[in-house]
Amino acid sequence: MSAKKEFQRLPKTIVPSNYNVTLTPNLQDFTFAGNETISIEVKESTPVVILNSADIEIQSVQFSGGGKELEAKVELDAEAETATFTFPEALPQGQATLSVQFTGCLNDKMKGFYRSKYTSPDGETKHAAVTQFESTDARRAMPCWDEPACKASFDVTLIVPKDRVALSNMPVISESETKEGLLAVTFDRTPIMSTYLLAFIVGEYDYVEDRDSDGVLIRVYTPVGKPEQGQFALEVAKKTLPFYKEYFGIAYPLPKMDLIAIADFAAGAMENWGLVTYRETALLVDPKNSASSAKQRVALVVGHELAHQWFGNLVTMEWWTHLWLNEGFASFIEYLCVDFCFPEFDIWTQFVKQDLAEALELDALRNSHPIEVPVGHPAEVDEIFDAISYCKGASVIRMLHSWIGDEAFRKGLHQYLNKFAYKNAFTEDLWEALVESSGKPVGEVMSTWTSQMGYPVLQVDERKEGDKRVLTITQSKFCADGKPADGEFHWMVPIDIISSADPTKSIYSTVLKEKTTTVTLEGVKPSDWVKLNPGTVGVYRVRYTSEMLDSMIPSVKDLSLPARDRLGLQNDLFALARAGLCSTVDVLKVAEAYRSETDYTVWCDLTANLSAIAVVLQYTDCFDLFRAFKVNLFSDVGKRLGWEKLDNESPLDSMLRTLVLAQLGSSGHPETVSEATSRFDQHLAATKTLDADLRSAVYSVVMKRGDEPYFDKMTDLYRTSELSEEKVRILRVLGQTPNSEKLKSALQFSISEEVRSQDAVFCIAGATSSAQGRQLSWEFLQSNWTKLSSMYEGGFLLARLVKICTENFADRNKISEIKEFFEKNPAPAANRVIQQSCENIELNAALLERDGDAVKAYLSELTK
């Protein structure tokens, strides 16, 4: 077998400036025909043109320029995804055109130009032709220079059936009938942009529309017959575009903004300029059947994708190495936007749980990676579409924003976006603009966070000297196993400190540049506590002495410590316990201080941390004792919230009710199980519709009972539902049954024709919530590997599937079993995930060995 060729970027000898492309998709035989005229500049005379092309047959290539008309021989390289056009003589320097005729396939892999299956209102199965080009799949729709720095403008014409909607990035400028009776729809020229942002769609859709305060036409396209489900996203987009215009100081540069729900869609959404594509669950809200959490997700995803219209589309990373800047930035700014549009979501507290906590968990592993990863072949890009690029990237930008202040941050962004509009930029270009606007050493500080993996844990010791408090702060790399790091690591750490005198106000700020520093705080009473990282803004953990921690517990109980600090405190403790740096029993004792907690996000994070311990205890004989511990912990908040939604209730209380009832029910609380079953029966009988906010909890509790009829009732409910959100809700719980035969049925159902391939992962993930289900899911993955790897073609969904089926075992024998399987069945896009899963299994096994007996003794004592 020949060695893989070293990856090389495309030559710069010829560059495109415009593509005039016409595509004719055939929705019956799933093919398309295309022709394009590419305006080029020949910078160096050469007989060879190399550009990207994949899964395309090229019929002819003609060059016209400098008085020459030449025809090329075409050579395709499937591995490199390139086409080489060789002409009989060197092309003259200067302006010219390439005319290319080609054909391709509307594939079913959710990438490139592909087909998406849907059911029409009259029950007929039909297909739309849609696109997903990021990161490197524009080359599957047309030969092109498919690199982010090869920007050009696009003139698109789609030739489609007259009864179909045709969309692209820009508005329609003309329509004409062809001699075949089709409609030729021509769109206005796009701005100069990267190929991965191009989009075209042909299908059947309804829409709702409005204009924002600047007159930009906004449409949300929905499945036929469901335009009302686009109304919420429309309202979000109407507020969001003017917010970003104001924040960035630059108007949205296109005349229209379309948002469209695609039935088959691998990612959550894609920021194509002027035509943003979404999974149905990320865009559609059913006024009667959508949960509060679903509305919040739609708001965040719309905010994220519209932020990209400036940050990513107007200014684009030069190469995929800088992907984190695109995604990390949009993942940060979406929260700014949602906080502006929906202050009732208290979204910045949720950021700490959804982004920062996830980043800290992954980045503590030895198999993590730096935020900024050198990328060669674009096939490597899928591996870095992960929590480091998105969540850690966003968290580091949030820390930077806090450190330099909003005014300097906005000013720097404005300078950066203006300077590089319609161009490409490197990470360093943004730092330069922020140095100029803030006067702070942004590049020097930030490079310590982007160029090395991991983050520090700050060990804090204190000495009381009257009304002075002397702190010694020492940084070291935090490793999930608690052992010293391999190699030298050092960060420049922005630090703030608060005290119990006023937990909302920083009393000291600095940047920790050394390994150890001593800080003297004035005017701190001996009875006051002090705490680092107010608001849990810093991307680090803090390890306090027992005395310092104990002094803060009363402020957790009486809620005088702000919610983000309460969240961060327990999150750090659980991580320290998993690393063996403190006792799991001590952390469970601290968890009891949260019995009176009222904040949804704090409960959400605490629940996730308890669930991580539950995963390990599932392999012991004290799991039932742990379930009893959880019933005791959640019972007070459960009684306070009850089952019925109050008038004018906060969406966060609705979400908290769902969370608490799910925890009580899954822990076997008899009253909760009984009430959930009763409400489910009434819902099925149509005597009382189950509130959308309660459904995920009720469905989960009912499935965990294990009664055989309920599995069949749940699958029937799946089949009759037309709302993607409801279908996903059901898929998530199908595999939670303790009935092993039904569990196997759920796994088989996940890859049946009834489940979209993008959604199979939800069903399998649900099955891994129990020890039995985890083992069956792992066996299922192995026995169906050929089908699953073909279904996802090595993309990020395959990596996600591998992760959920492997990471939560607690037996070291599984490590060799997993490694052996993937040595025989390589999955390059999942290589890092496989290493991380093996590391997590080792951590689980170590926790069980270290603390298992002590936890059992503690839980046993509680039940006496």
Residue 259 phi, psi (nearest 5): -125, 130
d(CA 226, CA 789) in angstroms, rounded, equals 34
587 φψ region: left (φ > 0), alpha (ψ -120 to 50), beta (else): alpha
| 432, two tokens | 């330069």
Residue 305 falls in the annotated catalytic set: yes
d(CA 536, CA 549) in angstroms, rounded, equals 16
3-state secondary structure of 71: strand
d(CA 728, CA 719) in angstroms, rounded, equals 12
d(CA 825, CA 819) in angstroms, rounded, equals 10
Tell which residue, 200, 342, 340, 345, has the closest CA to residue 270.
Answer: 200
d(CA 140, CA 137) in angstroms, rounded, equals 5
- Close Cβ partners of 601 (under 8 Å, ≥ 6 residues apart): 346, 349, 350, 352, 353, 563, 567, 652
| Burial of 642: CB neighbours in 10 Å, binned 0-12, 13-18, 19+ | exposed
Going 665 to 670 to 672 to 678, the CA torsion angle's sign is: positive
How far apart, in Å, do the first and last CA atoms of the chain sit? 66
One-letter amino acid identity for 108? D
Q: What is the DSSP string of 18-69?
A: EEEEEEEEETTTTEEEEEEEEEEEESS-EEEEEEE--SEEEEEEEEEETTEE
| Burial of 288: CB neighbours in 10 Å, binned 0-12, 13-18, 19+ | exposed
Tell which residue, 51, 69, 27, 358, has the closest CA to residue 204.
Answer: 27
b/e sequence 71-102, b meaning 16+ C-beta within 10 Å? ebebebeeebbbbbbebeeebebeebebebeb
Tell which residue, 430, 411, 495, 484, has the closest CA to residue 454.
Answer: 484
Residue 305 phi, psi (nearest 5): -70, -35
- Close Cβ partners of 787 (under 8 Å, ≥ 6 residues apart): 751
d(CA 723, CA 426) in angstroms, rounded, equals 42
Q: Of 134, 280, 305, 361, which is the active-site residue?
A: 305
d(CA 53, CA 10) in angstroms, rounded, equals 12
Match 């799910």 to its residue by tokens.
Answer: 662
DSSP-assigned beta bridge partners for residue 130:
114
**Cis amide leading into 546 (omega within 30):** no
b/e sequence 588-612, b meaning 16+ C-beta within 10 Å? bebbebbeebebbbbbbbbbebbeb
Quickly count: other Cβ atoms within 10 Å of residue 197's Cβ: 26
* DSSP assignment letter at 344: G
Quickly count: other Cβ atoms within 10 Å of residue 333's Cβ: 26
d(CA 428, CA 728) in angstroms, rounded, equals 41
| 836, two tokens | 């991380």
Query: Annotated active-site positions, please?
Result: 305
